[in-house]
Structure 1
């Protein structure tokens, strides 16, 4: 459900961005459709909730991750700042490209995807994540609701999958071996090492992408349940991957969801494999 903010109550951020419609809400931030009054265009504005030093550190982590990424498969960062409209409650915000489309979770809920569509989505995401990983960033929270399927209004181009929300992205060079710290990510899509609070690498994104693509085929979550139940289930069991998936999908998803991170393929290898699956699905 969207909520419209009266213009008289909406602050003008950085002298140009005025939020007017609440379009999403998460644990750490709210997403608004806002208007850039300088360039006369709509943008997405992610306004973080007020918090302490740890929350500000998380904001800077996301900003750092997004600022150095520029790829057609990633929602672009436009601007950033802090909202001082309530002086005793300053709130950081990000201004991002407003992507018009449907998220993958909503699409899965509405209808079955064809094998060709799944292969195209897989290729788009693997290509974007190969780029992300090459620049030392781990997304850390891959899930269907963080994937936008964007239509460009032409009859000759298919919908493109674009990766959104780097809210808990990590630098791959950072020390992620702080055992016992809070597990971050969405429980249903955590890798085993995330669930066990072990060091996280780019292979964690591979595992999570495997679960997302498996859900595209089955339309069910591989590890349902509550936060703890879902996160811990994958430490003792592999996801149930149908043996009769078309093409090479069964071995591909099996390799992606191996419990040993070193046994999983790289995003570069997967991009090539997914491209082959597009050709196989259309031949």
Structure 2
């Protein structure tokens, strides 16, 4: 990404956006410098300060501020950029994660069964924590899973969950909860139907992500509308070349009946068991 062409005023007197990393429908994400602490951070700057943007901003702050887990990309600060008084823009200061998205890893080539299993365990472990705090992510996709390699001798790449911009609290009302959000190819059937959601919706989405990791094919391709509606007609197919027990786990995670899907803790336990079994069968 290119560096910013014009100087940007310090946000909250300390954060200086330097480079655009990503652009979405309602926000932009910049690499920025915290000039007080001398470290790099990420800034999520909302496109405007309309009532809807401010409501989304408050909702995301409310969700992220209550989460402290190694698998969640943390919020560091928040504020409103009022350098243009007629166009105030809320922003979040987020931990800068050095790594690639799972989407980029998939685009680069096939993943080993062990690597897929590690992603399954780590994201499920994170979702167990998130769900225990009454939060539903609503947009678990390869793009919102970061694969971080710390680059030390005894470390291995770790999966972390990002972008809680449309997450909701399952236990209390929230302005946008009744609307369908998320990435069409990974929506749960209940999201498509605009029904009340439970943590099982995130499990369905993670099941589709894992299926794609094994098959390197999006289960429900097409335009957003066609992709969303297709899961109401048929279930995703886990082909025979997806190894057991992963095939059975993915089928249970993508069951059309949300009440019959495993919990995040169940998924993490199954993934850990499968990883141990694979390790035991490796040649000495």
TM-score, normalising length: structure 1: 0.96
Q: How far did 1:86 drift?
A: 1.1
Give the match's secondary structure for 1:95: strand
Which residue pairs with 1:266 in the alignment?
263
Alpha-carbon distance between aligned partners in 2 of 1:131 and 1:217, rounded to the nearest angstrom: 25
Q: How far did 1:175 drift?
A: 4.4
Preserved CA contact (<8 Å) 1:50 1:89: yes
Alpha-carbon distance between aligned partners in 2 of 1:47 and 1:177, rounded to the nearest angstrom: 20
Alpha-carbon distance between aligned partners in 2 of 1:80 and 1:97, rounded to the nearest angstrom: 12
Q: How far did 1:156 drift?
A: 1.4
2:124 pairs with 126, 129, 135, which one? 126
Alpha-carbon distance between aligned partners in 1 of 2:241 and 2:57, rounded to the nearest angstrom: 44
Q: How many matched pairs?
A: 280
Where in structure 2 are the equivalents of 1:139-154 lying within 5 Å? 139-154=137-152
Q: How far did 1:246 drift?
A: 1.7
2:87 pairs with 89, 92, 117, which one? 89
Which residue pairs with 1:275 in the alignment?
272
Alpha-carbon distance between aligned partners in 2 of 1:100 and 1:83, rounded to the nearest angstrom: 26
Q: How far did 1:121 drift?
A: 0.5
2:21 aligned with 1:14: no
2:75 pairs with 77, 91, 95, which one? 77
Where in structure 2 are the equivalents of 1:161-176 lying within 5 Å? 161-175=159-173
1:224 pairs with 207, 221, 226, which one? 221
Give the match's secondary structure for 2:18: strand
Alpha-carbon distance between aligned partners in 2 of 1:274 and 1:116, rounded to the nearest angstrom: 10
Preserved CA contact (<8 Å) 1:146 1:165: yes
Alpha-carbon distance between aligned partners in 2 of 1:52 and 1:97, rounded to the nearest angstrom: 25
Question: Does 266-275 or 48-57 show the bigger shift?
Answer: 48-57
Alpha-carbon distance between aligned partners in 2 of 1:153 and 1:249, rounded to the nearest angstrom: 28
Structure 2 residue ranges without an equivalent (≥5): none
Q: How far did 1:52 drift?
A: 2.4
Preserved CA contact (<8 Å) 2:76 2:95: yes
Give the match's secondary structure for 2:20: strand
Q: How far did 1:281 drift?
A: 2.3
TM-score, normalising length: structure 2: 0.95
Give the match's secondary structure for 1:42: strand
Question: Does 150-159 or 112-121 show the bigger shift?
Answer: 150-159
Alpha-carbon distance between aligned partners in 2 of 1:241 and 1:176, rounded to the nearest angstrom: 35
Give the match's secondary structure for 2:214: helix
Alpha-carbon distance between aligned partners in 1 of 2:44 and 2:200, rounded to the nearest angstrom: 28
When residues 73 and 59 of structure 1 are mapped into structure 2, their CA distance, relative to the original with a 3 A threshold, is same
